[in-house]
Amino acid sequence: MRYVSTRGSAPVLGFADTVIAGLATDGGLYVPETWPVAPEHISGDYAKLAADVMSPYIGDEVSAEDLASLCAAAYSTFRDPRVTPLVPLEQGHWMLELFHGPTLAFKDVALQFLGKLFDHLLEIRDERITIVGATSGDTGSAAIDGVKNCSRVKIVILYPHGRVSDVQRRQMTTVNSPNVTTLAVDGTFDDCQDLVKAMFNHAEFRDRHRLSAVNSINWARIMAQVVYYFSAIQQLAANGESIGNGVSFSVPTGNFGNVLSGWIARRMGAPIRHLVVGSNSNDILTRFFETHEMRARDVVPTLSPSMDIQVSSNFERLLFEMNGRDGGLTTEQLQRFRSAGSFAVEADQYDTWLAPVFRAARCDDTQTTAMIKDVYQSTGQMIEPHTAVGVLGGRTHQEDGVPMVTLATAHAAKFPDAVERATGRRPELPAHIADLFDRPERATRVANDLAAVEAEVAAVSGL
Ligand X SMILES: *Cc1c(COP(=O)(O)O)cnc(C)c1O
Give the active site residues: 107
- What residue type is 429 in one-letter code? L
Radius of gyration of the chain (CA): 21
Site for ligand X in 37-66 (CB under 6 A): none
Residue 153's DSSP bridge partners are: 129
Residues in the chain: 463
Query: Is there a contact between 410 and 99 (Cβ–Cβ < 8 Å)?
Result: yes
To the nearest whole angstrom, how small is the minimum distance from the Cβ of residue 323 to ligand X? 21
Under the criterion CB under 6 A, does residue 258 sit at the interface with ligand X? yes
Each residue 69-108 as x (binds ligand X by CB under 6 A) or -, in order, gives: ------------------------------------xxx-
Interacting residues with ligand X between 378 and 397 (CB under 6 A): 386
> Assign residue 32 a region: left if phi > 0, alpha if psi is -120 to 50, beta otherwise?
beta
- Choose which of 252, 327, 403, 416 interacts with ligand X (CB under 6 A): 252
Site for ligand X in 107-136 (CB under 6 A): 107
Pick the binder of ligand X from 276, 307, 383, 418 (CB under 6 A): 307
Residues between 9 and 38 with contacts to ligand X, criterion CB under 6 A: none
Beta bridge partners of 405: 94, 249
Looking at 78, 94, 256, 376, which residue binds ligand X (CB under 6 A)? Answer: 256
Q: Show contacts with ligand X in window 199-238 (CB under 6 A).
A: 216
Cβ proximity to ligand X, 112 vs 306, nearer residue: 306
Q: How far is the CB of 451 from ligand X (least distance, A)?
A: 32
Query: Which ranges in 62-218 belong to alpha helices (H)?
Result: 64-75, 107-125, 138-147, 166-173, 189-201, 203-208
What is the C-alpha to C-alpha distance for residues 245 and 357, in angstroms, rounded to an integer?
Answer: 14
Whole-number Å distance between alpha carbons of 391 and 93 = 9
Cβ nearer to ligand X, comparing 216 with 368: 216
| Cα(410)–Cα(97) distance, integer angstroms | 8
CB under 6 A: which stretch of 177-185, 253-261, 319-327, 443-451 binds ligand X? 253-261
Is 285 a binding residue for ligand X by CB under 6 A? The answer is no
Do residues 279 and 253 make contact, with C-beta atoms less than 8 angstroms apart?
A: yes
Q: Which parts of this chain interact with ligand X (CB under 6 A)? A: 105-107, 138, 216, 252-258, 306-307, 386, 409-410
